[in-house]
Amino acid sequence: MINYTLLPEHIRGGAQRWIERGVDPGDFLTAVICNNLTESFGRADDINLHRMFDIVSFFYNEAPSECWGSKEKMEVWRKKHGEKSMQHSPSK
């Protein structure tokens, strides 16, 4: 079970929706998920700046490795787990 309480409260929902349903998060979490250090720090608010180690540790230790680490991994995760991929095809 993933321990989302390790994250700052205001980004837990975005991380959970991304991991569990493939819903794109905001710009900050997208930068973290894509492993873009410069962009992550540039988009972080004061809380996220202070908790950056915790946020990265969360993804490294708690999140499935297939859902983060590069833009390419993010795109594959979105295609595989995104809400659109979970919708059933219309019946013929």
Query: Does 90 or 60 have the greater pLDDT score?
Result: 60
Determine which of 50-54, 63-67, 84-88 has the lowest per-residue pLDDT on average: 84-88
- Residue 82 — pLDDT band, cuts 50, 70, 90? confident
Q: Which of residues 87 and 51 earns the better pLDDT score?
A: 51
Q: Which two tokens stand for residue 26?
A: 């905001």
Reported as a pLDDT band with limits 50, 70 and 90, residue 63 is: very high
